[in-house]
Amino acid sequence: MIQSFVTLQERFADLQLLRYEVPEFNLLPLRQKLLVYYLAEAALMGRDILWDQNSNQGLCLRKTLESIYTQYNGPKDDADWQAFVVYLKRVWFANGIHHHYSCLKFEPGFSRKFFIERLQSMDYSQKAIDELVEIVFNPEVMPKRINQADGEDLLLTSSCNYYAEGITQAEAEAFYANLKKEADPERPPMFGLNSRLERADDGTLFENVWRSQGLYGKAIDCICDMLCQARQYAENTRQQAVIDKLVEFYRNGDLKTFDEYAILWVGETAGEIDFTNGFTEVYGDPLGLKASWEGYVNITDHEATRRAKALSDNAQWFEDHSPVDSRFKKKECRGVSAKVISAAILGGDLYPSSAIGINLPNSDWIRAEYGSKSVTIANLTHAYNIAAKGSGMRQEFVIDDATRQLLDKYGDICDNLHTDLHECLGHGSGILLPGVDADALRSYGSTLEEARADLFGLYYIADPKLIELGLLPDKEAYKSQYYSYLMNGLLTQMVRIEEGCQIEEAHMRNRALISRWTLTNYPQAIQIVVAGGKHYVHITDYTLLRKAFGELLAEVQRIKSEGDFEAARQLVEQYGIKLDAKLHHEIRERYQRLNLAPYKGFINPRYELVRNTDGTVIDVSISYDESYDQQMLRYSRQYSTL
């Protein structure tokens, strides 16, 4: 059967949905297809957990909005209805009522009257209606999912659901500082990772743990069922042991078990198919302790993996030659395993908006002792590149034809390579000095960590070693990465931020930090110039830029290794957050004229078991024809676990 594959799908608000293809799937034998199938089911079963983590009202509101959507029978050209549809699609995309990037609550474009009438027609009580109207329409109720403003109480001002209402930042920090005191300082568990912090009747704080029989227990049991199904089709005994340990962790909620699981998982590199399923990244918690739920499944892309392997095989060389002070270097780089993969399914916090590179586990001591697994997700990058081609961005924002040609020629290869360097070497490099707390940089930790990995990539992409390893064609290629990175950090990433707002998200703060630090400290190498009333990045000395990146890398590594909170704060506050209002306005205007969507996300393929007449499973089919709303509604039907 030949299916035409269309990458670009729906476009609304500031979003563009894409499809990604999984070219390896149909080449797998049935046993591996079944492994993918059941792991994918496990990755979808946790969907509701994330919705509840993002907001304690999220699930209830989603059900209401979906009921309105499916039961509406009024005119389709009604302006309120059309605005409502956009609102629901945005809420789906963000897994909640706050923008996935800016974290600000969405403004509904439809009227109160429309909303109330719909609820009345579905027999909602007056009390329920009043509550829902408050959540949707009152800008002062839950205005922001994560607030990171320096000097404010980050918990009282954030509406995410990781801490019970009323718990202050100082209380939570004291609670976790206390837990840490009793832990093995060499091998501390990641305290707080898998629980909601709550207050008992006597006023003391306790963790309500996310586990079977605990908070989110119903969803977790469904995940475990699917993992146990997948286990029958595991490719090897280590993969089985990984699944067993994960199920054990989901059942007992003990972070020591989680560390054992992470160690087993990082050691399993033989399988063609791999997965992540669990409480993973901490970007959604203003204190950076509690992990949002995510799941995904991947299949190795062998050809592209050779590239990443060339880097990881030389990890020690890169560590030894980095510009970082030798006290902060790893003496022995262990097991950085790098793979290029195709995503087979995206779930939880990776859906619909996804990372394109992932490096896990996050535990510092496990990374130091056992290494980490790093992946570059090639089929998502490929979908992005198709979407970017012909978008007009380079025509509008790149300074001249020569630079545009540089980007056209080397852009794709350098983007992939920078992601590889960032994930498989950058995050894995360096050590903390003995006694330094891994969370010492607190709310600045995520930004500094991303900066460290990006700088490692920027420094090394210009190294002749990469040409020697056959990863770059010549000495010119890296310049395209320098230009596009700095153009993004100084100018174009602003298009994603509403006017009047500042930079919030850790990866964006990191890019602004690196770019603006370089602009300020190396004016001989890079300037912002104005031509025809428009601002452009002008690079005059690429060689000097490499030196700048090396210098900043050394400083950022020092800050992390020593846990220098004050230096981290100053760096991020000075370079990573504030936007120049006039420049911001100009960039957004130029961008709006191109009529593009600043954020992209993905529609998953659909997997189905194929049975013969006696019910035996004979195949697993993959299809790409589900629309965005069909998929979201189906997920709500099939995977509503809470």
Residues that bind Zn ion (CB under 5 A): 450, 453
Spatial CB neighbours of 125, under 8 Å, sequence gap ≥ 6? none
CB of 36 to Zn ion, least distance (A): 26
Q: Where are the alpha helices (DSSP H) in 58-181?
A: 58-71, 79-94, 112-121, 126-137, 169-181
* CB closer to Zn ion out of 94 and 453: 453
For β-strands 372-377 and 195-199, DSSP reports them as unpaired
3-state secondary structure of 377: strand
* CB closer to Zn ion out of 447 and 480: 447
For residue 211, CA distances in Å to 203, 280, 293, 528 come to 24, 14, 12, 52
CB of 508 to Zn ion, least distance (A): 12
As beta bridge partners, residue 295 has 277, 347
- Residue 492 sits at the vertex; the CA angle it makes with 487 and 493, to the nearest 5 degrees, is 110
Specify the long-range contacts of residues 608-612, CB closer than 8 Å, at least 24 apart.
609/37
Which candidate, 491, 529, 532, places its Cα nearest to that of 508?
A: 491
CB of 556 to Zn ion, least distance (A): 13
Neighbour count for residue 207 (Cβ, 10 Å): 20
Burial 269-287 (b: 16+ CB within 10 A, else e): eebbbbbbbbbbbbbbbbb
CB of 590 to Zn ion, least distance (A): 28
CA-based max dimension of the chain: 75
* CB closer to Zn ion out of 509 and 584: 509
* CB closer to Zn ion out of 356 and 545: 356
| Cβ(449)–Cβ(433) below 8 Å | no
CB of 358 to Zn ion, least distance (A): 8
CA 478, distance to chain mean position in Å, is 25
CB of 3 to Zn ion, least distance (A): 34
Question: What span, in angstroms and rounded, lies between the C-alpha atoms of 536 and 530?
Answer: 6
* CB closer to Zn ion out of 80 and 450: 450
Region of 13 (left: φ > 0; alpha: ψ -120 to 50; beta: rest) is left
CB of 453 to Zn ion, least distance (A): 5
CB of 429 to Zn ion, least distance (A): 12
CB of 376 to Zn ion, least distance (A): 11
* CB closer to Zn ion out of 420 and 450: 450
| Cβ(115)–Cβ(37) below 8 Å | no
Spatial CB neighbours of 283, under 8 Å, sequence gap ≥ 6? 146, 292, 446, 505, 506
* CB closer to Zn ion out of 209 and 552: 552
| Cβ(196)–Cβ(172) below 8 Å | no
| Cβ(36)–Cβ(344) below 8 Å | yes
Spatial CB neighbours of 231, under 8 Å, sequence gap ≥ 6? 240, 243, 244
CB of 196 to Zn ion, least distance (A): 26
* CB closer to Zn ion out of 439 and 450: 450
* CB closer to Zn ion out of 247 and 375: 375
* CB closer to Zn ion out of 406 and 425: 425
CB of 359 to Zn ion, least distance (A): 7
* CB closer to Zn ion out of 212 and 446: 446
CB of 145 to Zn ion, least distance (A): 21
Neighbour count for residue 635 (Cβ, 10 Å): 17
Residue nearest to Zn ion as judged by C-beta position: 453
* CB closer to Zn ion out of 48 and 364: 364
